[in-house]
Amino acid sequence: MAGWNESQLRKYNIKVDKIPTLQYDDPKVDSLLSNNKPVLIKGSKLVSQVLKWDLDYLAEHMNSICCNVLVSKNHKFKYYDQKKITPNMTFKPISRPSPMIFSEFAKKIKDWKKGDSRLYMQQVLNNSISQRIVSDFVMFNWDWIMSKQKVCKWGSLTSNLLLIAQEGNVTPCHYDEQQNMFASIRGYKRFILFPPSEFECLYPHPVHHPYDRQSQVDFDNPDYIKFPKFKEACGYEVIVGPEDVLYIPMYWFHHVESLMHGGCTVSVNFWFKAGSVEKIEYPLLDHQKMVIMRNVEKMLAEALHDPNEVGNMLNTIVLGRYT
Ligand SMILES: CC1(C)c2ccccc2-c2ccc(C[C@@H](CC(=O)O)C(=O)C(=O)O)cc21
Ligand SMILES: [Zn+2]
């Protein structure tokens, strides 16, 4: 009894494989985590003390807290870095931040009708939230998650984001530079993950673009002329349900959607810094090559004193010489 069905998934033309699903005490979990391989972990009880975190409960205890809410004209919430928007740039994001107090957010969700802008709350969980939420938060299974952090030699926990999405919301394909243990509290989310080796098929924006780390490909309407290799992209798909924990390795691309007609989803992610010392061995790992490419783009922008010059110089170096 899955609690969801295929009709709730958006239709994409992407080849996908499965992600292993293991019990939290299966020794294979630690070897997958330590090898930066995604795995869906069952039975960890990481967030089992907060399954009561539904919209009403959270509204009752977060009522007048001002929260980070994103508003989008369509179902996609493409993250962008404000700091990378330069004055002479015409950048028109589809989703934009619209801070509001929790009770307003909850009301807008309840009164939402087709055609209205969609909302997505992502709020850093810290002790500034209400006492009750903090007392719930401390009841996460911290022993377990910290034991994973240790066995994988991850860096420090940087943040927990509380995520409340409307049914059907999509976070388009992107990668993050941190290790991520993603816990679902309510509802079902579909993840399509791509390893760093699929970089050439996903065409991430330039590092200096506000959409840095996000794929340029619109999964709803891929431009196969501009992005021909997207046809060859091979992903991994998994549905994350209540109490499941999905490990998203750093630098792995992921597309995330809250299932349609499934009601709101409530999730919490645990972002950890990468391990401090990463011993360099050859051949290099694919995510290490992504770090090198990022550094080349950054160094060229620095040397040229203009990020818009980076593409021209890279073409000058490569066209007719390396291609
Ligand atoms: C799109 C959104 C709301 C956003 C807008 C502006 C700034 C940041 C973010 C941000 C960060 C994380 C997520 C959670 C998750 C995707 C998902 O669950 O939807 C994910 O990608 C991850 O856990 O790594 C979602 C968002
Ligand atoms: Zn992410």
- Kindly compute the dihedral angle of the four CA atoms of residues 105, 106, 109, 110, in this order, to the nearest 10 degrees: -150
Question: Quick check: 162 and 233 in contact, CB under 8 A?
Answer: no
Confidence of residue 1 (pLDDT cuts 50, 70, 90): low
User: How remote is the CA of residue 254 from the centroid of ligand 2, in Å?
Assistant: 6
215 lines ligand 1 (CB under 6 A): no
Q: Which ligand is nearest to the CA of 175?
A: 2
CB atoms within 10 A of CB 162: 23
Q: Write b or e for each residue in 43-71: b if 16 or more Cβ atoms lie within 10 A of its Cβ, otherwise e.
A: ebebbeebeebebebbbebbeebebbbbb
- Per-residue pLDDT of 83-134, as tens digits, reads 999 988 899 998 999 999 999 999 999 999 999 999 999 999 988 788 999 9
**Residue carrying structure tokens 């990378």:** 84
User: Does the pLDDT of residue 53 top 70, yes or no?
Assistant: yes
| pTM (two decimals) | 0.97
The atom of ligand 1 lying closest to the CA of 78 is 1
Q: Which residues pair with 192 in a beta bridge?
A: 237, 255
Q: Looking at this protein, which amino acid is placed at residue 165? A: A
Q: What is the pLDDT of residue 104?
A: 96
DSSP output for 60-110: HHHTT-EE-EEEESSSB-----GGG--TT-----SEEE--EEHHHHHHHHH
181 lines ligand 1 (CB under 6 A): no
161 lines ligand 1 (CB under 6 A): yes
94 lines ligand 1 (CB under 6 A): no
